[in-house]
């Protein structure tokens, strides 16, 4: 791929904390390499801002290799930017042309309050996971391989669901701000396996109850989540969670 340098205009959301009102600020960046990642471009900009004694742009990042799910930017109207199945740290500047204006916003959701600039508080996701509770497995020595046979299909489906990195792009991309893809992935990965069986019903009931409490919107099957998910988690998981929830809601004896 041909290497080139570019000059860009950035419109970035600046917000001091969750209490104050935010605003867009415009920055000019020059000589950005097409080989850089989107976050490296921000690093370059922040270095300059710090040297100029200005407030750098706060953004979340950790692994920078597309697996931690920390980076959360809504770039040019798309969660994690224009590339499919990609996190914003793995979005490279060759996705843009020189002279382009790029609009960068944080995830916008009532359940994800802005901490600062592009950093949002995703504790709501942690509380949903906590509401799901533990799974009952015996401690002690690790069991021998294949003592508990699991069909290939189930193992695969569970694995695909477990590939969710909890970045929140589904909430950000959803026109309703719904967290159904995230919660359904977390419900599915355990519902499909024998290890998840004992708490299968209470888990889905509690997690959905917590999801509703956090103020996420309701799924209307638009499927923007699936398209924007960096790991390509399927909306078939949402159908599975609907199934799990409806059957658990009507049959769970613990909650009668």
Partner 1 sequence: MANAIDKIYFSSFLKNNPINKSNFSLFVQYFCKLVIYQLSLMTWKQFFTSSIGKKFVVGFTGLFLILFLIVHCTLNGMIVFSDNGETFNHWAFFMGTNWIVRVMEIGLFLGLILHIVQGLVLWAQNRKARPIKYSMTSPPSNNRWYSRSMGLLGTLILIFLIIHLYHFWTPSRFGGLLGIHSLEETPLATYNGQIVHNLYAEMLTVFQTPWVVIVYVLAMISLAWHLMHGFQSSFQTFGINHKRFSPIIKGLGTAFSIIVPLLFALMPIAIYFKWFE
The arrangement of strands across the sheet holding 5-14 comes to 23-33, 5-14, 101-105, 74-75, 78-79
CB of 196 to partner 1, least distance (A): 17
Residue selected from 72, 87, 90, 178 as contacting partner 1 according to rule CB under 8 A:
178
Q: Does 77 bind partner 1 (CB under 8 A)?
A: yes
User: CA–CA distance from 217 to each of 109, 110, 180, 230, 239 (Å)?
Assistant: 9, 9, 9, 21, 17
Q: Does 95 bind partner 1 (CB under 8 A)?
A: no
Long-range contacts of 248-256 (CB under 8 A, 24+ apart): 248/200, 248/201, 248/202, 248/204, 248/205, 249/205, 251/201, 252/201, 252/202, 252/205, 254/201, 254/202, 255/202, 255/205
Q: Does 17 bind partner 1 (CB under 8 A)?
A: no
Residue selected from 228, 230, 231, 233 as contacting partner 1 according to rule CB under 8 A:
228
Q: Does 226 bind partner 1 (CB under 8 A)?
A: yes
Residue selected from 10, 41, 111, 161 as contacting partner 1 according to rule CB under 8 A:
111
Letter string b/e over residues 205-218, b meaning 16 or more CB atoms within 10 A of that residue's CB: bbbbebbeebebbe
Q: Cβ distance 88 to 71 under 8 Å?
A: yes
User: In the window 146-175, what residues touch partner 1 (CB under 8 A)?
Assistant: 173, 175
CB of 228 to partner 1, least distance (A): 6
For the CA atoms of 136, 138, 144, 147, the dihedral, rounded to the nearest 10 degrees, stands at -50
Q: Does 186 bind partner 1 (CB under 8 A)?
A: no
Cβ-based nearer residue to partner 1, 33 or 223: 223
CB of 155 to partner 1, least distance (A): 17
Q: Does 5 bind partner 1 (CB under 8 A)?
A: no
Q: Does 34 bind partner 1 (CB under 8 A)?
A: no
Cβ-based nearer residue to partner 1, 3 or 21: 21
Q: Does 78 bind partner 1 (CB under 8 A)?
A: yes
Largest Cα–Cα distance of the chain, in whole Å? 65
Q: Does 105 bind partner 1 (CB under 8 A)?
A: yes
Q: Does 245 bind partner 1 (CB under 8 A)?
A: yes
CA distance 76 to 67: 22
Q: Does 215 bind partner 1 (CB under 8 A)?
A: yes
Q: Does 18 bind partner 1 (CB under 8 A)?
A: no
Q: Cβ distance 199 to 155 under 8 Å?
A: no
Q: Which residues bind partner 1 (CB under 8 A)?
A: 22, 24, 74, 76-78, 103, 105, 108-111, 173, 175-178, 180, 205, 208-209, 211-212, 215-224, 226-228, 235-236, 238-246, 249-250, 252, 255-256
């Amino acid at each position: 791929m041909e290497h080139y340098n570019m000059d860009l205009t950035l419109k970035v959301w600046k917000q001091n904390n969750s209490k104050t009102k935010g605003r867009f600020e415009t920055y000019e960046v020059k000589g950005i390499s097409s080989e850089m990642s989107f976050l490296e471009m921000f690093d370059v900009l922040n270095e300059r801002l710090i040297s100029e004694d200005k407030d750098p742009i706060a953004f979340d990042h950790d692994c920078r290799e597309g697996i931690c799910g920390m980076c959360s930017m809504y770039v040019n109207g798309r969660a994690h930017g224009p590339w499919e199945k990609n996190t914003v740290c793995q979005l490279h500047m060759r996705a843009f042309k020189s002279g382009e204006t790029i609009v960068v916003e944080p995830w916008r959701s009532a359940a994800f309050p802005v901490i600062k600039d592009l950093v949002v508080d995703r504790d709501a996701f942690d509380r949903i996971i906590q509401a799901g509770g533990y799974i009952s497995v015996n401690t002690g020595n690790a069991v021998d391989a294949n003592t508990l046979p699991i069909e290939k299909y189930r193992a695969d489906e569970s694995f695909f669901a477990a590939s969710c990195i909890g970045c929140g792009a589904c909430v950000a991309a959803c026109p309703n701000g719904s967290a159904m893809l995230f919660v359904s992935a977390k419900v599915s990965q355990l519902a499909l396996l024998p290890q998840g069986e004992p708490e299968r019903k209470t888990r889905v009931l509690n997690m959905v109850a917590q999801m509703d409490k956090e103020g996420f919107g309701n799924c209307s099957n638009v499927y923007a989540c699936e398209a924007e998910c960096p790991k390509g988690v399927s909306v078939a998981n949402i159908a599975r969670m609907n199934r799990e929830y409806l059957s658990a809601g009507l049959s769970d004896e613990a909650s009668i």
